[in-house]
Every structure is written in structure tokens, then in C-alpha cells.
Amino acid sequence: MKTILYEHLERPIYNSDLLDRLDPKKFITRYCLNLSPSNPGPGLKVRPLKTSDYETGFLELLSQLTVVGEIEEEKFLERFSTMELCPNSYYITVIEDTIINKVIGTGTLIVEQKFIHNCAVRGRIEDIVISDEYRGRQLGKLLIATLTLLGEELKCYKVSLECKDSMVPYYTSLGFRNEAGNSNYLQIRFPL
């Protein structure tokens, strides 16, 4: 009975206190950014993804990045629960326009457990998207800075990302580097 009730409660994918731990000064000194998770701009809020975000345009936003497909609420909640079963791994973060109750930006830090580097963890930044109408307000920069600093806070030994060739200058401007002799990204795709 308890489990059934719990499933109906709104819950975040990670503890939002983590975002409060990020030092706003680092957003200024490292990124020349006057925004931070606690101060993203008027009418905006940076927070972890919640179960209730099925209703706030999160999946529609992701479809500005790539193919999402038709996802029913049940399937969304099932995937959310699966991610929760891997604690300290899925830091899916959103920017909400609180005036209209819509998610207008998202990005994920995934923290992967390793044996190498003395059982270290590494971070991967994934699925960054800012809604078309909100571009040009440095919100992408705010998201990347937030996820990168989160990776540092969580003691990742490195944080990496993959992106289109055209986005390399953008991510380079945010501190990501092509490491000499060690920067190839290869993939195999399978039909779904």
C-alpha cells in the first residue's frame, strides 16, 4: 500500500540541495556569468527533473534536440523509476519558466562509477537543449556551467561530452578541450 502511495507523490530525480551547494562566485570567475542556479533570471528556476515534468513540456523540449517518440506517462514514470534505482547517477536538470509552468531548458550530468583512477567517478554531459524562444539569454551556458560544477562537486575526475562538429567552438569556449591524440568519438548505430 505504501509503495502505491509513494508512486503518486511528486519526486525529484536528485536532491536539489546539491544545486545550492554550488558556489555562485565560480559562475562569475570561471564563466563570466552573472547567472547561477539560485539566480537564473526573472521568472526562471533551475531544479532537478521531477515526476510531474511529464506535464510541463520536458519531452517536447527534448524533441528540439533529437527524436523522442510517442512516450505515454506510464512509460515516462517507469524510466524515471529505473533511473532512481541507480542512485547518484542521473542528474537531469531543468530550467522552468515559473510564470507559465513550462520546462524551457534541460541538460543531464551522468555520473559513471569506475575501477580506474582508484575507483573514481567520471561525468558525462548529455542532452543539452534550450527552447528556441529562450536562446540568447545565456541559459545554455548556465546549464553547462551548472552541470560541470556539479561534476566537480561530486568529485568526478573528468567530465566529457559529445556534440556536433559545429558545436565544438561553443563547448571549447566553456572550457572543454580536444585532448591531443585522445579526442575521437566513434559510434555504431543500431536500428530500433
Task: For residues 27 and 40, give the distance between their C-alpha atoms in angstroms, rounded to a whole number.
Answer: 11
Using CB under 6 A, which of the segments 7-15, 90-98, 132-140, 160-168 binds ligand 16G?
160-168
Residue 163: Cβ within 10 Å count:
13
Q: Among residues 22, 33, 46, 128, which is the contact residue for ligand 16G, using CB under 6 A?
A: 128
Q: Mapped to the 3 state alphabet, what secondary structure does 89-119 carry?
A: CEEEEEEEECCCCEEEEEEEEEEEECCHHHH
Q: Is 170 in the site for ligand 16G (CB under 6 A)?
A: no
Q: Is 161 in the site for ligand 16G (CB under 6 A)?
A: yes
Q: Pick the closer one to ligand 16G by CB: 11 or 124.
A: 124
- The CB-of-118 to ligand 16G minimum distance in angstroms stands at 28
- The CB-of-2 to ligand 16G minimum distance in angstroms stands at 36
Sequence-ordered strand ranges (E) for 44-163:
44-48, 90-97, 102-113, 121-130, 156-161
Using CB under 6 A, which of the segments 3-11, 17-25, 133-141, 161-169 binds ligand 16G?
161-169
Q: Which residue has the cell 567517478?
A: 121
Lay out the sheet containing 121-130: strands in order across: 44-48, 90-97, 102-113, 121-130, 156-161
List the interface residues with ligand 16G, window 28-67 (CB under 6 A).
65-66
Q: Is 126 in the site for ligand 16G (CB under 6 A)?
A: yes
Q: Is 125 in the site for ligand 16G (CB under 6 A)?
A: yes
